[in-house]
Structure 1
Amino acid sequence: MATSIKYQTPFEKAQWLFSGDPFGCEINHRVQSFGTLGLIANPGEALTLSLQADWLSLDNTQSQAFVVPPSWQAQTQQPIATTSLHWLGSQALAQHNTNAFLEALEQGSIWQVNIATPESSSYQISSSPISTQTVANQFRICRQQLLPKPFRYLRRLELQFATSSSLLSAAHEQDLYAMYRYIQADPTIAEVLIDGHADASGDHLANLVLSKARADEVMSRLIELGVPAQMIQTRHHGNRAPVASNLDTAGRKLNRRVSIRLVKSATPSALGASK
């Protein structure tokens, strides 16, 4: 087997860069002549290890990534931790056992990626373990301040309710708190649209009243959390807009719901800016 071509930025040129806000945190490290190693934290997701190549593109290929001690710390370069990177084009990502790679930065260890291509080429990509502790600390602080959930999760929530009930569950409370945090952080959120529904069990008028109670309960909780009341619009529909059959238990469960939608504007709203 041919010897791997090795890539590592000389220590005197090595940099670790941090960027972050409540919507995401990232560390980047440029590997000279190859690409960029990174560590990414997004709301509600596992920590992601990333390798972005400048000139290599692979599909449905796995590469092994390791944490290894620097040469001056150990006689042998036995891996401290490992994970598999999955390639899609010029980027390879991993989300398993990635916390060890953050810990490696604090301990001055090396990230190493071994790449074998279908054409039998072999590459070894290594980080430069210099000035890593500062960005690791910035990254940890940033992760603590991340929003609980991303917009793609919160943009349309469906909260399901027990039969004849408008009480909020613990899971509802978590989702509503995550929504409040997102609205607080993103000034482009212009409206919160709440629609209450019921299944077809019982009297039509009673279902209409129950759907209103559910919508009002959600609205009240969002206002208690700190969402401005003038941002919120509520409607109630009784059993007139089912999303599933009312002829079975599973369908009725899906129909006992409150839908919440976040609406963005092209420019930051005055309400958002005032929060």
Structure 2
Amino acid sequence: MPSLDSIHWQFRGSVFRCQLSMNYPNLGTIYFQREAGNRLTLNVHSVFVHFPSLVSYSQTASPWQELKTYPSQSVEGYSAHKMGDIQLQRQAPVNILNGMVSSKWYQINFKQNSGNLVFDLAPVNFQSAENQFARCVAGLLPKGFQELKKTTYYFSSGSSTLSDAKKSLIGDIGLYVNADPSVIAVLVDGYSDAKGNRLENLRLSRIRAEHVEESLLLAGIRPSLLQVRAHGVRALIGNPESSLNRRVVVRLVKKPAGGKDDV
């Protein structure tokens, strides 16, 4: 635990992601994060985190309270994609953040071969940043890029009509594309099954794609971003007459900082 006067929780966020973080001098950074379309996580970045065998947390007494031992709870969901970075998932981040909002102090314990690593989480200089974090979370987009970068809409045999429920999903795409200037194209590809005449199937796949295009335009997507293509019975999936082939696929193309398109 750093000295109390050096504890400063910081907020940063957008409609895509909200973060509430604190830096531990010579140890690392810990931050709560909520991304559009995802649950709250608690993330730790430290060179001292070495793929722990067990992660647990417990409430702890503040320095001005009588010393008291609280029960420890194992973190059921956590992932370490590389050494030095670990993400706590599921219920633990929610419990810890809600407790800190109520002025409770916590410890997170990482059990490792090299010895235990303990982070203390203190709700000091916390409330203002947490209030900004809460407002940010309330304004997040319904879904993020990972959920929307490729979406598939299926149709009944011979039909080109989208249900109202599917149209609402297209609304989420519109919200995202209008908020993210790095999206440089929205690809709309129509397909059909192999029932009936080949040319008729090609025509039907185009009508389906154009129907989805119309819904995307109504969702506010600029016409210049849309690219519509019809493929008919090309790229069949499994049984040629399967319902999986009566589909329109919408893909978002982003231009990342590196210059290569991200589809």
TM-score range, shorter-chain basis? 0.7 to 0.9
2:242 maps to 1:255: no
- What corresponds to 1:118 in structure 2? 113
Amino acid of the structure 1 residue aligned with 2:68: T
Give matches, 1:16-165, under 5 Å.
16-53=9-46, 55-59=47-51, 61-68=53-60, 70=62, 72=64, 76-79=68-71, 83-84=75-76, 85-87=78-80, 88-97=82-91, 98-119=93-114, 121-165=115-159
- What corresponds to 2:260 in structure 1? none
- What corresponds to 1:218 in structure 2? 212
Distance in 2 (alpha carbons) for counterparts of 1:74 and 1:222: 60
Report how far residue 207 of structure 1 moved. 1.8
Distance in 2 (alpha carbons) for counterparts of 1:236 and 1:38: 46
Task: Give unmatched runs, 5+ long, in structure 1.
Answer: 1-7, 268-275
Change (3 A) 1:265 1:122: closer
Cα RMSD (Å) of the superposition? Answer: 2.4
Secondary structure, counterpart of 1:226 in structure 2: coil
Report how far residue 73 of structure 1 moved. 5.7
Is the CA contact 1:68–1:80 (under 8 Å) kept in the aligned structure 2?
no
Distance in 2 (alpha carbons) for counterparts of 1:123 and 1:43: 31
Report how far residue 244 of structure 1 moved. 3.0
Amino acid of the structure 1 residue aligned with 2:89: Q
Change (3 A) 1:96 1:208: same
Change (3 A) 1:77 1:162: farther
Of 151, 158, 173, which residue of structure 2 is paired with 1:179?
173
Is the CA contact 1:23–1:147 (under 8 Å) kept in the aligned structure 2?
yes
Distance in 2 (alpha carbons) for counterparts of 1:192 and 1:123: 46
TM-score by length of 1: 0.82
Distance in 2 (alpha carbons) for counterparts of 1:253 and 1:96: 35
Report how far residue 227 of structure 1 moved. 1.0
Task: Give unmatched runs, 5+ long, in structure 2.
Answer: 258-263
Amino acid of the structure 2 residue aligned with 1:52: H
Change (3 A) 1:117 1:81: closer
Distance in 2 (alpha carbons) for counterparts of 1:201 and 1:216: 21
Is the CA contact 1:42–1:146 (under 8 Å) kept in the aligned structure 2?
yes
Secondary structure, counterpart of 2:125 in structure 1: coil
Report how far residue 67 of structure 1 moved. 4.0
Is the CA contact 2:49–2:117 (under 8 Å) kept in the aligned structure 1?
no
State, as a whole percentage, how many aligned pairs show the same letter: 28
2:223 maps to 1:233: no
Is the CA contact 2:190–2:231 (under 8 Å) kept in the aligned structure 1?
yes
Q: How many residues align?
A: 254
Distance in 2 (alpha carbons) for counterparts of 1:263 and 1:124: 42
Q: Deviations over 1:102-157 (max 9, x none)?
A: 212321122311122224x2332202221211122111111122222222332222
Report how far residue 47 of structure 1 moved. 0.9
Give matches, 1:256-271, under 5 Å.
256-265=246-255
Change (3 A) 1:79 1:86: farther
TM-score by length of 2: 0.86
Secondary structure, counterpart of 1:58 in structure 2: coil
Distance in 2 (alpha carbons) for counterparts of 1:81 and 1:69: 16
Q: Deviations over 1:149-178 (max 9, x none)?
A: 222332222222222222223552243122
2:199 maps to 1:205: yes
